[in-house]
Structure 1
Amino acid sequence: MRRGRRLAVDVGDARIGVASCDPDGVLATPVETVPGKDVPAAQRRLAQIVEEYEPLEVLIGLPRSLSGGEGPAAAKVRTFAERLAALVGPVPVRLVDERMSTVTAAQSMRASGVSAKKGRSRIDQAAAVVILQSALEAERGSGQPPGHSV
């Protein structure tokens, strides 16, 4: 497993969740929820977070259907990822499968007693944590970086 902090991003229309992990890639934790309606402003904020955290890479969740297909949401995320990659310069941006991440995050938050109304801004961070934890486990299992480069 490569050593270094990673950032994960869960892109949504209204909000964008961000998570990070420790340099050993053991534990993913929430970082921030970035407002997503103004895409250029959101990408500038994400670039600031990348500058602050100095990650090995940025992992962006790619929404796929349960069958593995891609729809309009995946196309939007691919465009978002390409633009972010241009902003963050030499830091690699990778797309990773995010199937069921938001559902898993919502179930986890409900189980811990967080109401849907209170949890809206945190659900995106929790989904980013799920994306990052899954990517870390995939890398530990395969020895290869997860997903594919933008």
Structure 2
Amino acid sequence: MSTVLAFDFGAARIGVAVGTTELGIPHPVETIAAIDNDTRFARIATLIAEWQPAQLVVGLPLAEDGGEQESSRLARKFAQRLEGRFQLPVALVDERYSSAEASQALNQTGLKGRKQKPALDQVAAMNILDSWLAGAG
């Protein structure tokens, strides 16, 4: 059984989710709200020490037509930094609709509008991890 940490990378926040390859069920972990890289990577280092993942997954935000955009480049750079700093394999997963799906799921629980903000990135990370687990299994 391997633990996997997934990240929904954003310029302002990074959503984090965890799951295992055996169970295939992602769970929210937290939202890292720090903007500076030192703080972000220090928190990620703590999460990696805590969860001991064998794999990292990063959402790749593509345009609707599947093309690359500025946020795609930033997500790829973040993935490369994760791999370089933590010496763990990093997979990229198409996350075109993860935030919209996360918002819709939160709407169904009664969490709407601005109240979604604290959980939205974590749920998006869960969707990213769910996609990766479905393809890896």
Identify the TM-score tier after normalising by the shorter chain.
over 0.9
The 10-residue stretch of structure 1 (15-24 or 59-68) with the greater mean CA deviation from structure 2 = 15-24
Aligned equivalent of 1:77:
75
- Of all paired residues, the percent bearing the same amino acid is 36
2:111 paired with 1:118: no
Map Cα deviations across residues 13-34 of structure 1 (whole Å, 9 max, x no partner).
Answer: 1110000013514210000110
Match of 1:100 in 2: 97
Which of the residues 51, 61, 64 maps onto 1:63?
A: 61
What letter corresponds to residue 46 of structure 1 in structure 2?
Answer: I
1:110 shift after superposition: 0.7
Deviations 1:6-60 (A, max 9, x none): 1100001111000001351421000011014112211221122112111120000
The whole-number CA distance in structure 1 between the counterparts of 2:58 and 2:43 is 15
Q: 1:5 aligns with which of 3, 6, 9?
A: 3
Maintained 8 Å contact 1:25/1:136: no
User: How far, CA to CA, are the matches of 2:37 and 2:116 in structure 1?
Assistant: 22
* Letter in structure 2 aligned against 1:41: T
The answer on whether the counterparts of 1:58 and 1:92 sit within 8 Å (CA) in structure 2 is: yes
Match of residue 40, structure 1, among 21, 27, 38? 38
Match of 1:135 among 128, 132, 135: 132
Question: Retained in 1: the 8 A contact 2:93–2:131?
Answer: no
* TM-score of the pair, normalised by structure 2: 0.93
In structure 2, the residue corresponding to 1:109 is in which secondary structure? helix
Aligned-CA RMSD value: 1.3
Q: Which moved more, 1:69-78 or 1:45-54?
A: 45-54
- Which position in structure 2 is the counterpart of 1:26? 24
Asked if the contact 1:59/1:94 (under 8 Å) is kept, the reply is yes
Unaligned runs of 5+ in 1: 141-150
Structure 1 stretches of 4+ moved >2 Å: none
Residue-pair matches, total: 137
